Amino acid sequence: MKIIEREAKSIYTRTKLPGIEYTINQYVGCGHRCAYCYARYMSRWKDYGQWGTWIEVKTNAPELAKEKIGGEVSMSSVSDPYQPLEKERKLTRRVLENMDKNTNLSILTKSDLVLRDIDILKKFKNLSVGLTVNCFPEKVRKILEPHAPKSERRIKALKKLNKEGINTFCFISPVIPKLTEVRKVLKKTKGIVDYYLVEVLNTRLGGENFREILKNKFPESYEYLKDRKKMEKFVELLKDYLETAKIPIAAFVGHWRENYYKE
């Protein structure tokens, strides 16, 4: 993995993402190397090579994070704040230490490394911490999320955060027919999260390589994604199921309609 260190001009970026006003990315690039990573478009603007082979470290991020920000801030959109590199760099930790504790902040990660920073997280007055949980079977996770912790560890992290009194959410993503075990996620996270976000796979952002992986390794799922009617039915059933499960769902995200695969 190539590590590029640079100084950034600012760290809070205005966004049009629904429900948030700013994103904060102290890293660009991610060592979790998820096959479907939506942030791969960043490679177009960064001349460092293929997505998943480099990480940009914004060395002055802790200093820049001191700026007071009004509005909802999301950490992070083009990296995971608790990716493996964070263990040694402690950049996210230093950013959090310097941030105004009144910031309306939501943190999303796939790693239980977030537990290391509970002492700082508890100082924030308007914070929610989310873990992505999809309960992919192990052989699937090894292909789609090769360097991210297993779902079990993510669930344990949610449990601990909840026990510590931190507002938690579970991001069920990406929902892929025949691969994502939504029922299992709900069963295992019952009572330990404050709300859920559910997101059906965005095939366009997943990219061409991911399409090939699905086609070759998970043809049953691929069949769904290239058949609009099948996908419509799948999403309809999923929504029905979530409704009957009576869980607090803050958002159901799905751009699959425009982006289903065409051959």
Binding-site ranges for ligand SF4 (CB under 6 A) = 30, 32-34, 37, 39, 79-80, 110, 148
List, in sequence order, every beta strand (DSSP E) within the chain.
Answer: 2-6, 12-14, 22-24, 27-28, 54-58, 72-75, 104-109, 126-132, 167-175, 195-200, 249-254
Which residues make Cβ contacts (< 8 Å) with residue 151, sequence separation at least 6?
133, 134, 135, 136, 141, 185, 188
**Nearest distance, CB of residue 112 and ligand SF4, angstroms:** 13
By beta-carbon proximity to ligand SF4, the closer residue of 74 and 79 is: 79
**Nearest distance, CB of residue 182 and ligand SF4, angstroms:** 18
**Nearest distance, CB of residue 111 and ligand SF4, angstroms:** 8
With b for 16 or more beta-carbon neighbours within 10 A and e for fewer, the 60-75 pattern comes to ebbebbeeebeebbbb
**Nearest distance, CB of residue 78 and ligand SF4, angstroms:** 7
Q: Among candidates 110, 18, 34, which has minimal Cα distance to 72?
A: 18
By beta-carbon proximity to ligand SF4, the closer residue of 79 and 128 is: 79
By beta-carbon proximity to ligand SF4, the closer residue of 34 and 91 is: 34
**Nearest distance, CB of residue 207 and ligand SF4, angstroms:** 11
Backbone angles phi, psi at 107, to 5 degrees: -115, 135
By beta-carbon proximity to ligand SF4, the closer residue of 146 and 165 is: 146
**Nearest distance, CB of residue 242 and ligand SF4, angstroms:** 22
By beta-carbon proximity to ligand SF4, the closer residue of 139 and 229 is: 139
DSSP 228-242: HHHHHHHHHHHHHHH
Q: Among candidates 169, 234, 237, 241, which has minimal Cα distance to 203?
A: 234
By beta-carbon proximity to ligand SF4, the closer residue of 11 and 39 is: 39
Q: Among candidates 125, 118, 2, which has minimal Cα distance to 53?
A: 2
By beta-carbon proximity to ligand SF4, the closer residue of 78 and 182 is: 78
**Residue 199: strand pairing partners:** 253
Give the pairing type, strands 54-58 and 27-28: antiparallel
d(CA 80, CA 71): 21
Estimate to the nearest angstrom the gap between the alpha carbon of 156 and the chain centroid.
17
**Nearest distance, CB of residue 3 and ligand SF4, angstroms:** 15
Estimate to the nearest angstrom the gap between the alpha carbon of 187 and the chain centroid.
20
